[in-house]
Chains A and B, each alone.
Chain A
Amino acid sequence: MIAQQLVNALTLGSVYALFALGFTLVFGVLEVMNLAHGAVFMAGAYAALVLVTKANLGIWVALPLAMLVSGALGLLIDQVVLKPLRARRAHHLMPMIATIGVGILMTNAAQGIFGTDTSRFPFGTIPEESFQVGTIRITDLQVAIVIISFVLMVLLLVILKRTRLGKAARAVAENPQTSYLLGINVEGVFRLISFTAAALGGGAGVLIGLSFNAVSPFMGQPLMPKGIAVIILGGMGDMRGAMVGGLFLGVAEVMGVAYFSSDYRDAVAFGLLFLILLVRPSGLFGRAMERKA
């Protein structure tokens, strides 16, 4: 029983981690709390749905394409909304408020285009097969979700740690002005990060859409507070923290429902978040922020 629950928790947690990774990437590098990330997540799921139903593509072809679409959307948001605010050196709350507007716009546009009903993937899109390991039943979809999430996350971590590009991104995260003086194309890094983060968010949307077989304009909304909880748990802007935090939240939710009560599922996660903030505001992996006098 507990092993079965762990499999479910791992599936849910890896998607949370993927979602939170995009969220934390933007926070770490652009220093923007991107509250449109949930809407991008939703847009990714719809992009996959449209590609599957209208273009008759297989889901594993539609997934990368949907990620490209959401990535492009992220880039668009950055260029149209966030760039002017950066140029003006606006107060750090301003980009956050602007992304709230973007989120409302996108959610409502999806409502207008697709209606408020929950859409489902056509029969046969989602692999239905499963196999048995001991007493645990694992579906092929679960395996695919976990593998895809982890491949994407590890890929991102390797790029950030090992390549010149990753070095540039980390330098910009540390200090954009200094990076600029050192000849790094700061705006280019911002564009790339916006694209990547949104692509990850959209990918997470497709995977959640598949695992519950439900796509709706509002599917991103419950993810937003969860994403915030995860990046607090892991430390703001910390990649490993977002991964561990996402997995942890998945486990906490699934185990909470299985062994405690489904009623207080969200309270457990957020109560924990509240406590972590009081005891260790920098999160599990974060460094204490220096106070500037």
Chain B
Amino acid sequence: MTEYLQLFWATYSTVIYTVGVHSMLALSIYLTLSCGLLSLGNAAFMGIGAYTAALATLRLGLPFGEALALGGLLPGLAALVIGIPTLRLSGVYLAMATLGFGEVVRVVFLNLEITGGSMGLSGIPMKTQLWHIVAILAVLVYGFVRLRHSKIGRAFEAIKEDETAAKVMGINITSYKLLAFVLGAILAGVAGGLNAHFTFFVSPREYGFDPAVDILTAAIFGGTGSFVGPMVGSAILAILPELLRFLKAFRLAVNGLILILVVIYLPNGIWDRKLFARFRRKGSV
């Protein structure tokens, strides 16, 4: 049995790590979405975090904890700087501005010497342990549970529902939006740092348009009604390709198909309390 478990771990540990990191990314976009902001810059923030943490380890020889902290700090600062002008934009325009920012970041990674150009950075030591990911996720879950009924959480919700009304109620919408944006960036950066230390390398390709869309997709797929949805969604989308290996070349097509079906038939994502309630009622009758 233990042998089986060892084999299982050897084969699937990367998948399990990936599930954890993707959950963090989905939470980072949930954080901004819960404040009514559609930001597609999270992949770029993840990239900044990944490169910073990797360089801290490789060049400065910092311990993992400090490298991760730097990996969260720098994206946070970047978010603060670009957030002040961009958060005036709303809806699709904000999405596009953050996407533009993401592309610029990607091209900068591609061309700087210190980031290793198109080859990226490789030979990053394996430092991420399962308990790191579990511990951070546990802290996050606790944080999100507490956030919901806190002053900040309610302010986020008010801004999401109706910005003008929230403003009239005396909520300083700019600073709350900035807070959500910066926290989301820190979270994405830490996730990037963790990711870099178990995949052993970072390259610019991982942080462009497609990953940005993937993160959003996982969150919407899971459902953005609560913080559980994005975590469930990203876990499923990370595991699915493994389960569908028998489909070979067509397995990603199933991902696309599921996405379409969920959006059409499960409007609130797959983690939908009302849906569960309906099933429960049906079950009891």
List of B residues within 8 angstroms of A278 by Cβ: 85-86, 97
**Residue of B with least CB distance to A225:** B209
Shortest C-beta distance, A23 to chain B (Å), equals 12
Q: Which of B213, B255, B264 contacts A85 (CB 8 A)?
A: B264
Most chain-B Cβ atoms within 10 A of its Cβ — which of A95, A221, A264, A270? A270
Contact B97 A274 (CB under 8 A): yes
Whole-angstrom distance between the alpha carbons of A265 and B108 in the complex?
11
Contact A97 B256 (CB under 8 A): no
Shortest C-beta distance, B122 to chain A (Å), equals 21
Q: From known contacts A100-B217, A101-B260, A104-B259, infer whether A224 and B252 are also in contact, taking CB-CB under 8 Å.
A: no
Q: Is the interface of A mostly helix, strand, loop or mixed?
A: helix
Whole-angstrom distance between the alpha carbons of A88 and B264 in the complex?
9
List of A residues within 8 angstroms of B135 by Cβ: none
Which one, B49-57, B61-69, B88-96, is touching chain A?
B88-96
Whole-angstrom distance between the alpha carbons of A111 and B253 in the complex?
10
**At the interface, yes or no: B110 with Cβ under 8 Å from chain A?**
yes
Contact B93 A102 (CB under 8 A): no
List of B residues within 8 angstroms of A112 by Cβ: 249-250, 253
Q: From known contacts A108-B250, A112-B253, A232-B96, infer whether A101 and B104 are also in contact, taking CB-CB under 8 Å.
A: no
Contact A277 B260 (CB under 8 A): no
Q: How many A-B residue pairs have CB under 8 A?
A: 124
Assign chain A's interface to a size class.
35 or more
Contact B252 A108 (CB under 8 A): yes
Contact A225 B99 (CB under 8 A): yes
Q: From known contacts A225-B99, A232-B96, infer whether A93 and B38 are also in contact, taking CB-CB under 8 Å.
A: yes
**At the interface, yes or no: B103 with Cβ under 8 Å from chain A?**
yes
Q: From known contacts A108-B250, A264-B107, infer whether A228 and B96 are also in contact, taking CB-CB under 8 Å.
A: yes
Most chain-B Cβ atoms within 10 A of its Cβ — which of A91, A94, A97, A236? A97
Contact B249 A270 (CB under 8 A): no
Interface residues of B, CB < 8 Å — how many?
41
Most chain-A Cβ atoms within 10 A of its Cβ — which of B100, B209, B260? B100
Contact B99 A267 (CB under 8 A): no
Most chain-B Cβ atoms within 10 A of its Cβ — which of A95, A100, A265, A273? A100
**At the interface, yes or no: B216 with Cβ under 8 Å from chain A?**
yes
- Residues 259 to 273 of chain A near chain B (Cβ within 8 Å): 263-267, 270-271, 273
Whole-angstrom distance between the alpha carbons of A224 and B212 in the complex?
13
Shortest C-beta distance, B100 to chain A (Å), equals 4
Contact B89 A104 (CB under 8 A): no
List of B residues within 8 angstroms of A33 by Cβ: 92
**At the interface, yes or no: B130 with Cβ under 8 Å from chain A?**
no
**At the interface, yes or no: B267 with Cβ under 8 Å from chain A?**
yes
Shortest C-beta distance, B38 to chain A (Å), equals 7
Q: Could you tell me which B residues sit within 8 Å of A by CB distance?
A: 38, 85-86, 89, 91-93, 96-97, 99-101, 103-104, 106-108, 110-111, 164, 209-210, 213, 216-217, 220-221, 249-253, 255-260, 263-264, 267
Q: Could you tell me which A residues sit within 8 Å of B by CB distance?
A: 33, 35, 81, 84-85, 88, 90-95, 97-98, 100-109, 111-112, 221, 224-225, 228-229, 232, 236, 263-267, 270-271, 273-274, 277-278, 281, 291, 293
A-B contact pairs, 11 of them (CB 8 A): A81-B260, A90-B267, A98-B260, A104-B253, A108-B250, A108-B255, A232-B96, A264-B107, A277-B86, A277-B93, A278-B85
Known: A91-B267, A270-B101. 18 other contacts (CB 8 A): A92-B91, A93-B38, A98-B263, A101-B255, A101-B258, A102-B260, A104-B252, A104-B255, A104-B259, A112-B253, A228-B96, A228-B99, A232-B96, A236-B93, A267-B108, A270-B107, A273-B96, A274-B104
